[in-house]
Amino acid sequence: MYVNSAYLNRSKIDFKDKSRPLIVGSCGTYHLYTRPRLPTRRPRGRVDFQLLYIVSGKAHFYFDNKEEDTVVPAGHMVIYRPKEPQRYVYYGNEQTEVYWVHFTGNNVKNILRGYGITDSMRVIPTGTSLEYTRIFKQMIQELQRCQTHYPELLTLLLRELLILIHRQLTRDPRLKNEYLDAEMALALEFFNDHYNTEISIEEYASSRGMSVSWFIRNFKQYAHVTPMQYIVARRIANAQMLLETTNYPITEIGNIVGYENPLYFSRIFHKQKGMSPSEYRKLGQTGMA
């Protein structure tokens, strides 16, 4: 299991703060692939708001203290409000990956309403997007590094996330296509499951009865990146995790995420992250010291 989280003022205690309209209290991610299950249960809820984004796999939520679960697949977010009972479970065999953020403030309800998230909304159909992931990762990093004005930047990042959600919620229904969305969701699932193998975009498109150009165009509209950009992003994200949490040789990490040529792996990593894998590992070790 991969875990990465960070907390305002390094405190894990949830809090309510009415001094500003919107305040980010914590942010993090879970990715299950070895641990069989990860349950969370808060019968009295929390005093702040929580937004969860299911990136891949599924999450099982038990709303209103019901014993029957609501299965929420990738491409959705779930919102919990203050004092709302929380119970949800992630399962390793479903390869669940989730990002979450907790926030508070004196105008949260009105801010959420302004971005189309009504008081009765629980499960939000957001679609999957690397932009969502980027924002969550940046919020985690800001909370970990605590640079000048970071609480203000956290608020701006959360508002950017809410803007993207609102754009998705208000997208012209005439542009929605259930068949197309289902096909793109299948493609995302396939790429998530096989990102570390040699994937031919041409062969995948052909196997689904699509032309390559049609598939790439519609995948980009769905995920906001091309298929190959999505695959590379998954490889580099998992390489980052292995660099941060293991002592595996960099050559082996490259192999694990799908790059047999260590020089090519280093070049791609540098292009994506602005530094080599070894530099990234050293930076992480310095940050943890």
CATH 2.60.120.280 domain position(s) in the chain: 2-169
Average pLDDT over residues 141-166: 96
Q: What is the pLDDT of residue 90?
A: 95
Average pLDDT over residues 13-31: 95
Average pLDDT over residues 1-6: 87
Class of domain 173-289: mainly alpha
* C-alpha distance from residue 274 to each of 146, 183, 236 (Å): 21, 33, 12
Q: What is the mean pLDDT of the chain?
A: 91
Q: Could you give the CA distance from residue 256 to residue 269 in angstroms, rounded to a whole number?
A: 14
Residues 196-249 pLDDT 10s: 999 999 999 999 888 999 999 999 988 889 999 999 999 999 999 899 889 999
Locate 233 and state its tokens: 């992003």
Q: Could you give the CA distance from residue 231 to residue 103 in angstroms, rounded to a whole number?
A: 31
Q: Could you give the CA distance from residue 184 to residue 75 in angstroms, rounded to a whole number?
A: 11
CATH 1.10.10.60 domain position(s) in the chain: 173-289
pTM of the predicted model as reported, rounded to 2 decimal places: 0.68
Q: Could you give the CA distance from residue 75 to residue 57 in angstroms, rounded to a whole number?
A: 9
Q: What is the pLDDT of residue 173?
A: 57
Backbone angles phi, psi at 31, to 5 degrees: -140, 110
| % of the chain surpassing 70 pLDDT | 96
Locate 11 and state its tokens: 């405190």
Q: Could you give the CA distance from residue 138 to residue 278 in angstroms, rounded to a whole number?
A: 21
The third-level CATH classification (topology) of the domain covering 2-169 is Jelly Rolls (2.60.120)
Residue 172 has pLDDT above 70, yes or no: no
